[in-house]
């Protein structure tokens, strides 16, 4: 059996990833390809506990290194439990965030630098690389605006508090945004950069086009 296809979605909070991953999953379903959809942090029982620790705004004083180590602990579990078995079974895996997020948020945002993150990725994740990464990067102003709206909405609801990152200052998000651009410029074969303030339909069209192309190359097209 041929190996599956590993597709990741990346972008800032408020970039529209969640909407797009759902649309992409439906698009694949309509083509008879049932993807495994997962997210990071989270996606396994252990990962959900790690996610709660990482995103809860009551987790104050998390050192940047702790934060990065927890992201990798979550990822190691997801690779072992979900991603590798699915790829080995020939499935398409759609993952909402992967190591590019750690490079952008911890490497860029928390200023730990790229090299450390890439070294950890080698060590902990066996350097597993996505076959395709869709990076949604509307302007920083739009991301900040949407993230703030969401923050207000979440704060108004009861339920699990997942606000810790969304309480970060604009300077943090600027560093994340710039690091994402740097990663995209470095890895043009793997990453499709979807820039600008496009409509949901326009972004979906670009995603569908990129995925269709990769499916043909990988021999998954029907
Ligand atoms: P989530 O609610 O999943 O955000 P989104 O819907 O925007 O993807 O929260 C994930 C948060 O965790 C998000 O702010 C980015 C952050 N994060 C990191 O800082 N490093 C990482 O390696 C990952 C995977 C996520």
- pLDDT tens per residue, range 87-125: 999 999 999 999 999 999 999 999 999 999 999 999 999
Atom of ligand 1 nearest to the CA of 105: 19
- Are the C-beta atoms of residues 62 and 119 closer than 8 Å to each other? no
Secondary structure (3-state) at 3: coil
Q: Which residues contact 93 (CB under 8 A, 6 or more apart)?
A: 4, 5, 6, 7, 35, 36, 38, 82, 83, 86, 87
Report CA(222)–ligand 1 centroid distance (Å). 33
Within 6 A (CB) of ligand 1 lie 13, 17-18, 39-41, 55, 71, 96-97, 101-102, 105-106, 162, 165
Residue 42 CA to residue 50 CA, distance in Å, equals 7
**Mean pLDDT over each residue of the chain, to the nearest integer:** 92
Return the percentage of the chain with pLDDT > 90, whole number: 76
Residue 188 to residues 12, 133, 185, 202, 217: CA-CA distances in angstroms? 19, 10, 6, 21, 16
What is the position in ligand 1's atom list of the atom closest to the CA of 109? 19
Q: What DSSP designation does 167 have?
A: G
Per-residue model confidence (pLDDT) at position 157: 64
Q: What is the pLDDT of residues 140-182, one digit of tens each?
A: 888 888 877 776 766 666 466 777 887 788 899 999 999 999 9
Q: Residue 110: which CATH number?
A: 3.40.50.300
CA of 221 to the centre of ligand 1 (A): 31
At residue 164, the pLDDT reads 81
CA distance linking residue 183 with residue 177, whole number of Å: 10
Please report the pLDDT score of residue 24 as a whole number. 98
pTM of the model: 0.94
How many domains is the chain partitioned into structurally? 1
Average pLDDT for 124-131: 98
Give 6's strand partners. Answer: 93
The range of the structural domain enclosing residue 35 comes to: 5-218
pLDDT value of position 134: 98
**Looking at ligand 1, which atom is closest to the CA of residue 147?**
7
């Amino acid at each position: 059996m041929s190996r599956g296809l590993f597709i990741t979605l990346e972008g800032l909070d408020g970039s529209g990833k969640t909407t797009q991953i759902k649309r992409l999953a439906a698009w694949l379903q309509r083509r008879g390809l049932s993807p495994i959809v997962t997210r990071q942090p989270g996606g396994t029982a252990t990962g959900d506990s790690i996610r709660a620790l990482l995103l809860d705004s009551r987790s104050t004083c998390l050192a940047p290194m702790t934060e990065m180590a927890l992201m990798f602990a979550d990822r190691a579990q997801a690779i072992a439990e979900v991603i590798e078995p699915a790829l080995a079974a020939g499935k398409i895996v759609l993952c909402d965030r992967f190591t590019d997020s750690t490079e952008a948020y911890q490497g860029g945002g928390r200023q730990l630098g790229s090299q450390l993150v890439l070294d950890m990725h080698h060590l902990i994740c066996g350097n597993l690389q996505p076959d395709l990464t869709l990076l949604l990067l509307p302007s920083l102003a739009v991301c900040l605006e949407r993230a703030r709206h969401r923050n207000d909405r979440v704060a108004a609801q009861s339920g699990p508090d997942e606000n810790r990152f969304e309480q970060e200052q604009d300077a943090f998000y600027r560093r994340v945004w710039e690091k994402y651009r740097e990663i995209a410029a470095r890895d043009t074969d793997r990453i499709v950069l979807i820039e600008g303030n496009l409509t949901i339909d326009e972004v979906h069209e670009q995603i569908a086009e990129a995925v269709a192309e990769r499916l043909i190359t990988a021999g998954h097209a029907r």
